């Protein structure tokens, strides 16, 4: 496959500090891969300077497309909005990565290269060296088991935010979930297996978040709390209900 147009899509929430470095690293690394590169960053109505930072950066960074959300909707719906904006640009490939900068630009290159060389429907970046507290690891392991049962095979790092999709593949996946889904990537991982998509896995390093803002994290402010923060407990319960409704129950949309 000849890659002419690559689009990066990114949800961002309170990432003012880390975004300039992360976006320029992405741009530097990915620009050589395609004659046209666009970076669509959806600001989920951050409470810090993210929006301003993005609009300022757009003046110097060719291909940066800031998208301003009207209301704060959370990570899942913002990722979905980012995918949809990216698809609107009609790319050959679409790469999703979170705005918290937990990857090396060079690893993004490896995932895109894998998509180009194999022609796969999707390439997942499988995170190695994650430094999560025990309850997040437990949650990830639990979700992994449920997804393995639903998908009929083990899917490494089911919720990884680093993915490269063929546009036709991600368009189909998006149409099968609600636009306000909390855990779109988990639904996608199940649907990819059920639909027999060609999935490739590339191991990538997991870095600490860039920028020092603790408000960007989904799990409260403490770095290593002893017990699951309330926010995570609520999110886990709501996500489990959504998983059942959208992807697991008999007759769920496939």
Ligand X SMILES: Nc1nc2c(ncn2[C@@H]2O[C@H](COP(=O)(O)OP(=O)(O)O)[C@@H](O)[C@H]2O)c(=O)[nH]1
Of positions 51, 75, 163, 210, contacts ligand X by CB under 6 A: 75
Beta bridge partners of 205: 128
C-beta of 34 vs 99, nearer to ligand X: 99
Count of residues engaged in binding ligand X, rule: CB under 6 A: 17
C-alpha to C-alpha distance for 115 and 121, rounded to whole angstroms: 8
Instruction: Work out how close the CB of 100 gets to Mg ion at its nearest, in angstroms, rounded to a whole number.
Output: 4
Strands 163-165 and 93-96: antiparallel
Collapsing DSSP to helix, strand or coil, 18 comes out as coil
Instruction: Work out how close the CB of 51 gets to Mg ion at its nearest, in angstroms, rounded to a whole number.
Output: 20
Of positions 17, 98, 107, 121, contacts ligand X by CB under 6 A: 98
Of positions 46, 102, 159, 239, contacts Mg ion by CB under 5 A: 102
> Does 72 interact with ligand X (rule: CB under 6 A)?
yes
Beta bridge partners of 124: 163, 201
- C-alpha dihedral, 94 to 77 to 22 to 121, nearest 10°: -20
Contact string 210-239 vs ligand X (x = CB under 6 A): ------xxxx--------------------
Stretches 9-17, 26-34, 162-170, 192-200: which one binds ligand X (CB under 6 A)? 9-17
Strands 64-68 and 122-128: unpaired
Q: What distances in angstroms separate CA 81 from CA 29, 117, 121, one per listed residue?
A: 24, 28, 20
> Does 100 interact with Mg ion (rule: CB under 5 A)?
yes
Considering CB distances under 5 to 8 angstroms, the limit depending on partner class, which of Mg ion, ligand X, none binds residue 99? ligand X
Per-residue tokens: 82:
């980012």
> Does 74 interact with ligand X (rule: CB under 6 A)?
yes
């Amino acid at each position: 496959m000849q890659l002419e147009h690559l689009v990066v899509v990114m949800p961002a929430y309170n990432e003012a500090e880390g975004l300039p470095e992360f976006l320029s690293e992405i741009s530097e690394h990915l620009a050589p891969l395609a004659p046209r590169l666009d970076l669509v960053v959806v600001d989920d109505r951050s409470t810090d300077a993210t929006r301003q930072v993005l609009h300022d950066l757009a003046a110097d960074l060719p291909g940066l497309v800031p998208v301003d959300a009207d209301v704060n909707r959370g990570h899942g719906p913002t990722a979905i909005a980012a995918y949809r904006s990216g698809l609107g640009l009609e790319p050959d490939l679409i790469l999703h990565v979170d705005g918290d900068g937990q990857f090396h630009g060079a690893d993004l290159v490896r995932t895109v290269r894998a998509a180009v060389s194999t022609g796969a429907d999707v390439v997942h970046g499988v995170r190695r060296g994650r430094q999560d507290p025990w309850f997040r690891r437990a949650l990830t392991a639990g979700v992994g088991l449920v997804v393995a049962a639903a998908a009929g095979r083990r899917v490494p790092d089911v919720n990884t935010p680093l993915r490269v999709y063929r546009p036709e593949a991600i368009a189909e996946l998006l149409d099968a979930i609600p636009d306000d889904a909390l855990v779109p990537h988990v639904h996608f991982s199940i649907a990819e297996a059920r639909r027999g998509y060609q999935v490739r896995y590339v191991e990538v390093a997991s870095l600490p978040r860039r920028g020092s803002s603790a408000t960007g994290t989904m799990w409260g402010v403490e770095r290593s709390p002893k017990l699951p923060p309330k926010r995570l407990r609520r999110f886990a319960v709501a996500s489990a209900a959504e998983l059942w409704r959208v992807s697991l129950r008999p007759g769920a949309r496939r």
